[in-house]
Structure 1
Amino acid sequence: MSAPTSPAELYRHSLRLLLDKDIAAWVALWAGDGVMEFPFAPDGWPRRLEGREAVAAYMRRYPDHIDLHDFRDVRIHQTTDPGTIVVEMRGVGRMVETNAPFDMTYIAVVTVRNGRIASYRDYWNPLAAQEAGTDFAGSSR
């Protein structure tokens, strides 16, 4: 595949990598100093990851917790900043440990600079994650 040329194309590509469980390739989409934030994270859960290595450590065990099958209802909204998009979507799959269904609605604000993810604010619902039987969005603390 040729390199994605727009934030929306890069984001759609990132979703395919997550479905393929190719976390290394997903992390490679990040800028070295990229920041991932979780504004709704409860106390004791990560709220901010600084740098590609911190994002990699956070995501490393994601497939051990959640087996994603699909991203449904993906809607990507352009903003007045050509490098920033707002994404609405649902992640659907199952919890690996319990085999319970996983169905999480997400809103993300993503900024891409120089073809890499520079900022990703993930507005997921920690209460829904707890109901699904996972710590936070499926990753290990």
Structure 2
Amino acid sequence: MPENTSPTDLYRHSLRLLLDKDIPAWVGLWAEGGIMDFPFAPQGWPRRLEGRGAIAAYMRDYPDRIDLHDFPDLKIHQTTDPATIVAEMRGVGRLIETASPFDMTYIAVVTVQDGRFTSYCDYWNPLAAQEAGLDFAKGSPR
């Protein structure tokens, strides 16, 4: 993506890459020193990932765990900082291991600089993930 890509356009593109299961391209949208935070992560899961390498390692097996089909109800809110957006959405699909439905609501606060994610604070619900059948002991992505 070009350096002048808006945070909204970058975020929408990142969702398309997740639906396409193109994790390497998704990771490529990150700045080298990008930080991903999970304030509500359950015990045993990371609360913070620092750097593109850590984010890549965390996301590597995502398509083997969750088959995402859509991100309905996407709302992207502008903030007073033009580099930062707040996104509300649902991720729907199925869990690969159990074939159970997956339906998770997310709120993310995302900052972009020079066309790359620099900060992504992911407010997801670990209780809903547990109810869906995700195994927290495996420490894998939601």
Q: TM-score range by the shorter chain?
A: over 0.9
Q: In the aligned structure 2, how far is the partner of 1:135 from the partner of 1:9?
A: 33
Per the TM alignment, residue 42 of structure 1 is displaced from its structure 2 partner at its CA by 1.8
Corresponding position of 2:20: 20
Summarize the alignment of residues 117-128 of structure 1 with structure 2, pairs less than 5 Å apart.
Answer: 117-128=117-128
Summarize the alignment of residues 85-100 of structure 1 with structure 2, pairs less than 5 Å apart.
Answer: 85-100=85-100
User: What are the superposed Cα offsets for residues 64-106 of structure 1, whole Å, 9 maximum, x if unpaired?
Assistant: 0000000000000000000000000000000001000000000
SS at match of 2:13: helix
Corresponding position of 1:40: 40
Q: Does structure 2 retain, via aligned residues, the 8 Å contact 1:79–1:85? A: yes
* Matched positions, count: 139
SS at match of 2:72: strand
Q: Does structure 2 retain, via aligned residues, the 8 Å contact 1:65–1:139? A: no
Q: Does structure 2 retain, via aligned residues, the 8 Å contact 1:67–1:96? A: yes
With the length of structure 2 as denominator, give the TM-score of the two structures. Answer: 0.93
With the length of structure 1 as denominator, give the TM-score of the two structures. Answer: 0.94
Per the TM alignment, residue 52 of structure 1 is displaced from its structure 2 partner at its CA by 0.2
Aligned residue type for 2:31: A
Q: In the aligned structure 1, how far is the partner of 2:7 from the partner of 2:139?
A: 24
Q: In the aligned structure 2, how far is the partner of 1:134 from the partner of 1:113?
A: 33
Corresponding position of 1:111: 111
Q: Which runs of 5+ in 1 are unaligned?
A: none
Q: Which runs of 5+ in 2 are unaligned?
A: none
- Runs of at least 4 residues of structure 1 off by over 4 A? none
Per the TM alignment, residue 139 of structure 1 is displaced from its structure 2 partner at its CA by 6.6
